[in-house]
Structure 1
Amino acid sequence: MQTLALSDASRYIAGVVLLTIVTIEFGGTFMVRIVRGSVPLTDFQKSFARAGHAHAGVLVTLSLVCQVLADATSLSGFWGWSGRIAVPLAAVLVSAGFFASSMGRGEITQPNRFIMVVWAGAASLAYGVITLGVGLLAA
């Protein structure tokens, strides 16, 4: 049986990413309050809360997979670190962007200027998967 040994960089990033799952769990308790009607939100705000929570969970999972894949590439230095960190950064930016862009007082029915954070997260995600994908093809 062959054991999987992560590089120090991947092990460190994966450890931090695993610790962020507690914040996603906390967000889940907030989602339960929203679904039960305990938190008064518009339909728009509810949908963005769901999107923020779902993207956090999916992108954190993808982040962990990317750490293993990063070790299968020959990327090092800037390319290795930026490829490893871009997807976890996307998890933070996309989910935070959904939450922040739907905040406000009164009847909020459309995103505010913080929607740009979602797009920054999307760019980070694209950069990370492209970097790792090219790195895997070149390995």
Structure 2
Amino acid sequence: MEPATLTLAGILMLALITVEAGGAFLIRVTTGGHPTNGLQKSWYRAGHAHAAVLLVLALAVLPYTDSADLPSWALWLARSGIPTAAILMPAGFFLGVLGRDPAKPNRASLLIPVGAVILTAGLLAAGIGSIAAGRG
């Protein structure tokens, strides 16, 4: 594996520790230790799940980027798209329902579709690059 890939993999593994902390927070939420409304509870769960799944997905895709046949900008997108989405989407879920008793999500929830677009771009770049490397 390339040194840059190993470095990013290490960062992603350490980032999973924040997901553990989020799990502890969710336990407090679901047991009544942190008062929330139904919207907050469901969005916190979605944010936690997206963080975990996207970080693990980033770790799974990362080794394939070393062999991808892509121009440098697309290789950068293949390596960083999924980890970026793993930050933006959960942030949108958590920050989108901050407050004492929100009735609807706030503007921070726009991070969710932005993250989804970046996730799609990263997956496209990694997938196309892997196919090209496999055929070449």
TM-fit CA distance, 1:17: 0.5
1:89 correspondence with 2:84: yes
> For the residues of structure 2 that align with 1:60 and 1:122, how far apart are their CA atoms?
14
Matched ranges for 1:8-23 at <5 A: 8-23=3-18
TM-fit CA distance, 1:76: 4.7
Structure with the bigger percentage of helix: 2
The equivalent of 2:112 in structure 1 is: 118
Deviation above 4 Å: which 4+ runs of structure 1? Answer: none
The equivalent of 1:3 in structure 2 is: none
Q: For 1:39-90, what per-residue CA distance to the aligned partner results, in whole angstroms no more than 9, with x for missing partners? A: 1101000000000000000000000011112123123522212210110000
1:129 correspondence with 2:123: yes
Q: Identity over the aligned pairs, expressed in percent?
A: 38
C-alpha RMSD of matched pairs (Å): 1.1
TM-fit CA distance, 1:109: 2.3
User: Which sections of structure 1, spanning at least 5 residues, go unmatched?
Assistant: 1-5
- Pairs aligned (count): 133
> For the residues of structure 2 that align with 1:85 and 1:66, how far apart are their CA atoms?
10
Q: Structure 2-normalised TM-score?
A: 0.93
User: Which sections of structure 2, spanning at least 5 residues, go unmatched?
Assistant: none
CA contact (8 A) 1:24 1:56 kept: yes
